[in-house]
Amino acid sequence: MHNKNFVKPALGLVLFAVLAMPAFADSNSNQGNLRNMLKSVNSHGIDASFNTAGAIDLDNAFFKSLGSNGRTCSTCHEPSEGWTITPKGVQARFEKSQGQHPLFRLNDGANSPNASVSTVEERRTAYSMLLRKANLRVGIGVPAGAEFKLIEVDDPYGHASATELSLFRRPLPSTNLKFLSSVMWDGRETTLMPGSGYCIFGTSTCYASVSFDLATQANNATRGHAEALETLTAEQRNEIMTFESGLFTAQIHSTEAGNLITHGGRGGPMQLSKQGYYFGINDTVAGDYRTRASFNPKVMSLYDAWNRFNSAVSSQADELENSAGSDSARGAVARGQALFNSKPIRISNVKGLNDELNMSTIAGTCTTCHNTPNSGNHSVPMALDIGISDEARRTPDMPLYTLQNNMTGETIKTTDPGRALITGKWKDVGRFKGPVLRSVASRPPYFHDGSAPDLNAVVDFYNDRFGIGLTELEKADLVAFLAAL
């Protein structure tokens, strides 16, 4: 059990109550519900996954070994770990298999592909980044014609070079893909198509559709992570792409606030599957691409109906912690949503925003960057550098790279150059996409490098980075809201 507050009988009751909810009545039968509403416990409650195809088909190619090393897509996109992997799950697999499970493969599971892995203790050392932060090693070299060169490498695992930098990154969830505008942390699976497709407003910078990208990505993942010798058939690619594109995951039950679809709450994956999305919806810079309405900072509205609990204070009855949740806990979620939408943040020194718009300070909110309605990613590709891979945040387990600008001689030290390794552009160093925020409670640790162990650490990061001045109550409210996504 992930959470000590959840005693077994209470959980049984919760699941029963959730299944009996009228909101699920549009699925055919109870059995259909069970096959479709796949639930998992996390440290903030329970999440659920729903597939618009009518069931979560465990016979899909997504769950099959298609390569040569025993891995499937679900090896790193595990349904019960938010469709990514968590340290808890990785550690359990390691202990059970003595580090022999297909997740533990040298090519991208180990800190270095040359590590010794003949004994359990050697494997424990070789796979330490995977065990501690559920990070994979993504290997990408400095591209030809880059505006910079790699002049120094400090890799604790002795492998990285300009040919292949070792980048320790979290697998992104393979769910809620409907809302993606770019694929991968650095957008490398997002295809530029000059002049046609999905274009940035008023420019000829255009991209292929995300479903095209996902089909290509499924193939690359099989060739890379699963070390397949042959490409996937068009049929296999399509099967995987259709499966993952129909998949929605969201928190359905909060330990404190109870069922997230009662009292007018609109959490959970079924509601999410109906959430509208298109490329450029509610764009922060140009306004909505279709309606031409200007950017609306009120991005999240799931818990509007809970505003009536805003000032509910914790009563003695609340202390009894029943699975129905308390009004004060629902109030915290509603206050957190309001903070996410409207707490002023003075955004400065963010590459991809302040430089592109030529504004040294932008008066924004969390939603300036997390602008897609009720999803929280960015609705156009907009990789940003909020400082996660800065030298100042480097921990001894991470490599540190020194890059030098060919023209100016300027240097930057970073643990991951991000988008710059794709474009070769100096201005792109340290830039990553903001991921979809739904179901974020299911997948600690956070940020591309897993450097924030929990949601409190995420909120603390923003409070320090932008000097927001959040009170302890505001921090707790923001966490309560994020945990209900």
Nearest CB to ligand HEC, comparing residues 109 and 268: 109
Beta-bridge partner residues of 138: 167
User: Residues 457-476: x/- map of binding to ligand HEC (CB under 6 A)?
Assistant: -x---x--------------
CA 468 to chain centre: 23
- Looking at residues 183 to 202 of the shown chain, list those that interact with ligand HEC (rule: CB under 6 A): 183-186
Angstrom distance (rounded) from CA 390 to CA 291: 38
Binning the chain into helix, strand and coil, the percentages to the nearest 5 are 35, 15, 50
Six-digit token pair at 289? Answer: 């691409």
H or E segment and range at residue 242? helix 234-245
Sign of the Cα torsion 346, 350, 354, 357 reads negative
Q: Are 431 and 382 in contact (CB under 8 A)?
A: no
Shortest Cβ 185–ligand HEC spacing (Å): 4
Choose, by CB under 6 A, the member of 38, 41, 200, 214 that binds ligand HEC: 214
Cβ atoms of 85 and 134 within 8 Å: the answer is: yes
Does 77 contact ligand HEC by CB under 6 A? Answer: yes
Q: How many residues bind ligand HEC (CB under 6 A)?
A: 52
In this structure, how many other beta carbons lie within 10 angstroms of the beta carbon of residue 144?
6
Strands 206-207 and 198-199: antiparallel
332, 345, 398, 429: residue in contact with ligand HEC (rule CB under 6 A): 345
Q: Of 10 and 457, which has the nearer Cβ to ligand HEC? A: 457
482 touches ligand HEC (CB under 6 A): yes
- Residue 217 engages ligand HEC in binding (rule: CB under 6 A): yes
Part in contact with ligand HEC (CB under 6 A); list of ranges 68-76, 152-160, 292-300, 327-335: 68-76
Both tokens of 216, joined, read 């290509």
Residues 427-456, interacting with ligand HEC (CB under 6 A): 432, 434-435, 437, 440, 446-448
Residue 237 within binding range of ligand HEC, rule CB under 6 A: no
Residue 384 C-beta: closest distance to ligand HEC, Å: 4
Q: Judged by CB under 6 A, does residue 172 bind ligand HEC?
A: yes
Extract the tokens encoding 93: 């697999």
Under rule CB under 6 A, residue 174 binds ligand HEC: yes
Task: Work out whether 368 is an interface residue with ligand HEC (CB under 6 A).
Answer: yes
Nearest to 412 by CA among 396, 397, 395, 431: 431
Nearer to ligand HEC, 373 or 435 (CB): 435
Min separation Cβ 317 and ligand HEC, Å: 30
- Please return the burial class of 202, using the count of CB atoms within 10 Å of its CB with bins 0-12, 13-18 and 19+: exposed
Residue 82 found at the interface with ligand HEC (CB under 6 A): no
Question: What are the E-state strand segments in 206-311?
Answer: 206-207, 247-254, 258-259
Nearer to ligand HEC, 346 or 408 (CB): 346
**Whole-number Å distance between alpha carbons of 239 and 234:** 9
- Helix or strand or coil: residue 93? helix
Residue from 384, 398, 480, 484 touching ligand HEC (CB under 6 A): that is 384
- Main-chain phi, psi angles of 384, to 5 degrees: -130, 150
Least Å distance, CB 295 to ligand HEC, is 13
138 binding ligand HEC? (CB under 6 A):
yes
What does the binding site for ligand HEC look like in residue numbers (CB under 6 A)? Answer: 71, 73, 75-77, 108, 136, 138, 169, 171-172, 174, 177, 180, 183-186, 214, 217-218, 221-222, 225-226, 240, 244, 340, 345, 347, 350, 353, 364, 366, 368-370, 384, 386, 388, 432, 434-435, 437, 440, 446-448, 458, 462, 478, 482
